[in-house]
Amino acid sequence: MITRLVEISEKLADDRKHDPVIRARMELAMRGQFPRFLLISPINRSSQDLQLFNIRLGDTFHATRVPGHALLSPEQSLTLFKGPASYNHEFQSKRGVVLTFDTTESLDIIRETMESIRLHPHLRELPILAFQVDYERGRARLIVHGKGRDYANENNLLSKLRRPDELDSDLLVLLCCDSRVRPPRTNKGVPMAIRALGGYLPAFSGNDDETRQLDEFFSDWLSTMQDSKRILIVAHGDFEGGGASCGAGTASLHLSAIENPLLREVIEELENAASQYESVLPNTPEERVKTISKASRANLLTYPSIADAHNLYQLAIDEVLMDTITNTLVQSEES
């Protein structure tokens, strides 16, 4: 399966290199990321959201929430919410938070998610652009609310709507929030993706927090057609010599340089988890993101639903590398 994904990614990268607009954005992306929005999508719709709004390379820092559930408070959701929102705060270019909801999600989920957004100290001042989306038709309805809006950008996003590709729900990808990377395309369409700093997923805690929501999500996902399901952990960085490392991976090697205490708390967890798979301190962020992937893989197996699937029918969990700028996939030696 990975070989096919690598081929598709190489073909797409080649197409993109011939587009002068994309090439200009790639050159900018080598110098850093300047996202205007923090996009929070349901995990199952996250790849489709990038297509729905025609999001350009580098334009949204991307977080995800468990579908069918409201976003939890920042304290209950370190990896899916607190970390990405704290990292997003460091961008001077930020303009707002974009939230998407499936048509099947209730008004309570929408209301509670917006309340959680306002609980994050870094998000209190940003406008919230919220949409309820019919993904099959590629249509979105603006959600009117009283928590701070941005009419111009709401209209701008609505003007870009297009019908996303088919969802390939057989593949679940774990990928960094970085605005320059997007989940790999598959033969069937675009995969589901969990976006988190460095692509790091914590262990199942047994507490009433995001890991419980995630276990419920994994359990639902794995309840049907088990044989075709796979998980792919993607570590990104400068793997083609383009010159852009993972920001979270880099930060985890320089903890004392992180001034924002909320961000430091999250990156510290990443560093603790990764260092358990290192005999010496990595020389490069590229080495570090590989051990973050190893930690995520081990953590995935602590979720009861994943452990069952892994024991009963060897659910495949693979690791792969992605170049930050070209998004080309590279097989990691270990997998």
Binding residues (CB under 5 A) for Zn ion: these are: 176, 178, 246, 248
> How are the residues of the chain apportioned to helix, strand and coil, as percentages rounded to the nearest 5?
40, 20, 40
In angstroms, give the least distance from the CB of 289 to Zn ion.
7
The residue (of 66 and 248) whose beta carbon lies closer to Zn ion is 248
Q: Residue 125: helix, strand or coil by DSSP?
A: coil
CA dihedral sign, ordered 192, 116, 269, 258: positive
The residue (of 128 and 289) whose beta carbon lies closer to Zn ion is 289
The residue (of 49 and 178) whose beta carbon lies closer to Zn ion is 178
The residue (of 96 and 198) whose beta carbon lies closer to Zn ion is 198
The residue (of 233 and 248) whose beta carbon lies closer to Zn ion is 248
The residue (of 133 and 235) whose beta carbon lies closer to Zn ion is 235
Q: Residue 323: helix, strand or coil by DSSP?
A: strand
In angstroms, give the least distance from the CB of 283 to Zn ion.
18
In angstroms, give the least distance from the CB of 317 to Zn ion.
20
The residue (of 245 and 299) whose beta carbon lies closer to Zn ion is 245
d(CA 308, CA 328): 32
The residue (of 28 and 110) whose beta carbon lies closer to Zn ion is 28
In angstroms, give the least distance from the CB of 247 to Zn ion.
5
In angstroms, give the least distance from the CB of 149 to Zn ion.
30
In angstroms, give the least distance from the CB of 120 to Zn ion.
20
d(CA 335, CA 318): 6
d(CA 246, CA 94): 19
Tell me the two tokens of residue 158: 């609505």
The full DSSP string for 60-102 is EEEEEE-TTSPPPPGGG-IIIIIHHHHHHTT-TT--EEEEEEE
Tell me the two tokens of residue 275: 């260092």
Q: What DSSP designation does 244 have?
A: -
In angstroms, give the least distance from the CB of 97 to Zn ion.
19
Please name the residues in contact with 198: beta carbons below 8 A apart, sequence gap of 6 or more.
176, 235, 246, 248, 249, 252, 270, 289, 292
Which residues partner with 317 through β-bridges? 231
In angstroms, give the least distance from the CB of 52 to Zn ion.
23
